[in-house]
A = this chain, B = another copy of it.
Amino acid sequence: MAAPPGTPVNFTRKVPDGDEMERLVCSDCGFIAYENPKIIAGAVVTHGDSILLCRRAIHPQKGRWTLPAGFLEMHETPAEGAMREAWEEARAKIEIVDLLGVYTVKRISQVQMFYRARLTDAAIEPGPESLEVGLFTLADIPWDDLAFPSVHWALGHFQEIAGRDDFAPFTNPPGWENV
């Protein structure tokens, strides 16, 4: 039976000449598929006192609430990526305010950059990856039904620096450095 699409059947892990680390190398043509950490770009988007959340239509964590965020694409700045994701997931037009947090999920080699941002147009609606989207006051946020730890962290840190603009961006909370 053929391997499913995307399975690297011809790739083996070895240390290329002149390198010091194992890389994924094609046994046929020698192509090196370098693996490096990927960037997630996202935003805590406000409209007045409310925060934009999206209920996920896709796995993982399908059905749970998240901040608009996703993989940074080639030739984007992280801020541009956060704006694109807000549009893709919530049809939200936003402007970036500042960098709220740089979180790391080492296990899966992700660096997650969350910005503070504002809606520039009140109209929002679910994109293809969202079941629904909504604006929640802090009191109404479904804290027990959030999709990922970093969504908790970003929302918590957002509350912590409410009204300030001279803070250093947050990193993973104490005890969560090595997740």
Task: Considering the complex, give the chain B residue whose CB is closest to the CB of A88.
Answer: B20
Across-interface contacts of A6 in B (CB, < 8 A): 16, 30-32
- Contact, CB under 8 Å: A106 / B8: no
- Contact, CB under 8 Å: A73 / B36: yes
Task: Considering the complex, give the chain B residue whose CB is closest to the CB of A79.
Answer: B171
Across-interface contacts of A167 in B (CB, < 8 A): 166, 168
Rounded to whole angstroms, the CA-CA distance of A58 and B170 in the bound complex is 35
Q: How large is the interface on A (under 10, 10 to 19, 20 to 34, 35 or more residues)?
A: 35 or more
- Interface status of A11 (Cβ within 8 A of chain B): yes
Rounded to whole angstroms, the CA-CA distance of A32 and B107 in the bound complex is 21
- Contact, CB under 8 Å: A72 / B36: yes
Rounded to whole angstroms, the CA-CA distance of A34 and B30 in the bound complex is 17
Chain A, 133-174, CB within 8 A of any chain B CB = 165-169, 171
In the complex, identify which listed stretch (A43-51, A96-104, A118-126) lies at the interface while the others stay far away. A96-104
- Interface status of A71 (Cβ within 8 A of chain B): yes
Across-interface contacts of A113 in B (CB, < 8 A): 102
Q: Most chain-B CB neighbours within 10 Å: which of A17, A74, A167?
A: A74
Our pick among B29, B106, B165 for the contact of A3 (Cβ within 8 Å) is B29
- Contact, CB under 8 Å: A109 / B75: yes
- Contact, CB under 8 Å: A107 / B75: yes
- Contact, CB under 8 Å: B16 / A29: no
- Interface status of A15 (Cβ within 8 A of chain B): no
A60-77: CB near B (< 8 Å → 1, else 0) gives: 000000000001111111
